[in-house]
Structure 1
């Protein structure tokens, strides 16, 4: 569990078990293909609507929203990020065989290409773009690790570390960096503690600090932005469950997630694991049966997804 959890993040992948992190800041975004065709629009509505649908596991709605976003603004990197989110969330809610690898990889590649063209270098004056370059580098790494392309993943990892270094110290100016910096700080330190190879690897990059990382993630979880808050709570739940062996803290952050998204079976599954860790398997039966009923009655699942979630608790 630890190897899968920390390997990708240490390489710069803050996109892993759940999905792509999207920032929901209200801003105008460049959507033109070149300097002669610059246009601006408020992407906030489409981005937020699609992420809310994904967190609620309303896949048909998310499919429609992200497809519309991409068709309307094919030159805008966030449209490609949103579509990649859909493919990733759909895949983690079913068998890995259902993962649409080719279209996912193309959306990630195109998103990164457009963002890099727009940014024309790393700049703290463009924190939204810098934030998304971090997450898009993470997407590339995650995809390469999944396909055992480790050399390319390492190359993207070095690039991601450069973006993270550029964002360091800017967290109070752009709260999205509390999430990316917090994940790097915690996972770099945790990996170095547990694995000699990671410890050697980390000599070439800024050192991590687990306590500082947790503090930054908790600050991210306190933000008004529901996307940032949700992502931070998810990672805190998983860190406390898988790495810190603190089931009560995992339950706290998991409880926040299922309160806001009661139909999200991924959040509910890990909350169930945290509950078992805190109180023992003998007290989980009722919650396990409630989970089983929710899967059976969930309107947003296809048959394969329903079978997948039922299989998790057998």
Structure 2
């Protein structure tokens, strides 16, 4: 739990919004000089970045990385190409944050982007583009280090990100992309102390936020920004699904993202999850079966973590319609994928074990049922709902 809290703190209060580019909407004449000063405002470059970013979100990394390599050749001293390469590896990490396979290369690209941004900033401390890359680069480093429980490095990255965040502000009137960082700060600077009072002294060091304003700003970015629109939508559906308790809003956004980026496994499993949450079970099963087929086909990004989600939704549906043989098959798949991804403490893994215990009890296989319930007690904390359900079932059925 502390890992999750720390990750929220270090990630959400920093400016880490993707800085692939600026809006394609017309810029005011008063900022004409900025267009020639900043590479990100180059109109010709925007189109190439758009295609590359879309490929990246759709997990077509061969296309996106080739385009980013061309950018690196054309702009060898600019942080943009290295940052985009880092971002492409971040999405590989995002699918399963427990997998450390891409950590080193992700950090290497961020280090290079930061080094190049620092060189620009050292020459001109008024360069907001350089400050923007520095804030984003350090912010992403901080998030990864918090996921890995490297708290000293995470705090150091966070402090640097905050420093440059302030220097990159003040451009919202012509750049909606920048608003994403402010939106996340406004939301989580209120959410964190409300949900975790022990962190109030930490959050007292930061400016006071406005949770409702943060949501409004996220909606604004999701509707009006060009390059960071997807990032805003990503955070909106996560907040609507969990903190705001608006499952239909979460479904609306995840459905759009899956339709636009059909090969993105994170958006795919989120869509299946939100369908399941609102009771559209048959559609959830259809999406889940497609996820499982893509795992079997070894499609890029589809792995055990997504399989754990998909198998559980299929199992739950079959249990609801009374097909216990199929339910058992997919609960076992849930357990298998959970063990493969080392997610034994996850809710889906634990609840799959509970249901397997119930199925085996009904079949008269009490020894096997006891084994499943024993595993629940092994991995779940006593206050976890699965632990409580297992204890109650064991007591009631005298196992």
Show structure 1 runs of 5+ residues with no match: 16-20, 32-39
SS of 1:186's equivalent in the other structure is helix
The Cα offsets for residues 218-262 of structure 1, whole Å up to 9 and x where unpaired, read as: 11111151x221111111111111211111221222233223223
Q: Distance between the aligned counterparts of 1:43 and 1:300, measured in 2?
A: 36
Q: Distance between the aligned counterparts of 1:197 and 1:28, measured in 2?
A: 47
1:291 is the counterpart of 2:293: no
Q: For residue 44 of structure 1, report the CA deviation from its aligned partner.
A: 2.8
The Cα offsets for residues 30-52 of structure 1, whole Å up to 9 and x where unpaired, read as: 79xxxxxxxx9954344323211
Contact 2:6–2:146 (CA<8 Å) still a contact in 1?
no
SS of 1:313's equivalent in the other structure is helix
Q: Distance between the aligned counterparts of 1:62 and 1:82, measured in 2?
A: 9
1:107 is the counterpart of 2:97: no
SS of 1:120's equivalent in the other structure is helix
**CA 1:147–1:309: 2 relative to 1, 3 Å:** closer
Q: For residue 186 of structure 1, report the CA deviation from its aligned partner.
A: 0.5
Q: Distance between the aligned counterparts of 2:124 and 2:201, measured in 1?
A: 27
**CA 1:301–1:292: 2 relative to 1, 3 Å:** same
**CA 1:122–1:289: 2 relative to 1, 3 Å:** farther
Q: Distance between the aligned counterparts of 2:220 and 2:300, measured in 1?
A: 39
The aligned residue for residue 63 of structure 1 is 65
Contact 1:95–1:305 (CA<8 Å) still a contact in 2?
no
TM-score by length of 2: 0.65
Q: Distance between the aligned counterparts of 1:129 and 1:292, measured in 2?
A: 45
Q: Which has the higher contact order (CA 8 A, sep 6+)?
A: 1
Q: Distance between the aligned counterparts of 1:198 and 1:122, measured in 2?
A: 36
Q: Distance between the aligned counterparts of 2:6 and 2:271, measured in 1?
A: 19
Contact 2:7–2:143 (CA<8 Å) still a contact in 1?
no
**CA 1:229–1:295: 2 relative to 1, 3 Å:** farther
Contact 1:95–1:308 (CA<8 Å) still a contact in 2?
no
1:273 is the counterpart of 2:282: no
1:180 is the counterpart of 2:181: yes
SS of 2:224's equivalent in the other structure is coil
**CA 1:67–1:298: 2 relative to 1, 3 Å:** farther
Q: For residue 147 of structure 1, report the CA deviation from its aligned partner.
A: 3.1
Q: 1:20-35 residue pairs with structure 2 within 5 A?
A: 21-25=18-22
The aligned residue for residue 211 of structure 1 is 212
> Which structure has the greater CA radius of gyration?
2
The aligned residue for residue 228 of structure 1 is 228
The aligned residue for residue 89 of structure 1 is 91
Name which of 70, 78, 81 aligns with 2:80: 78
Matched positions, count? 296
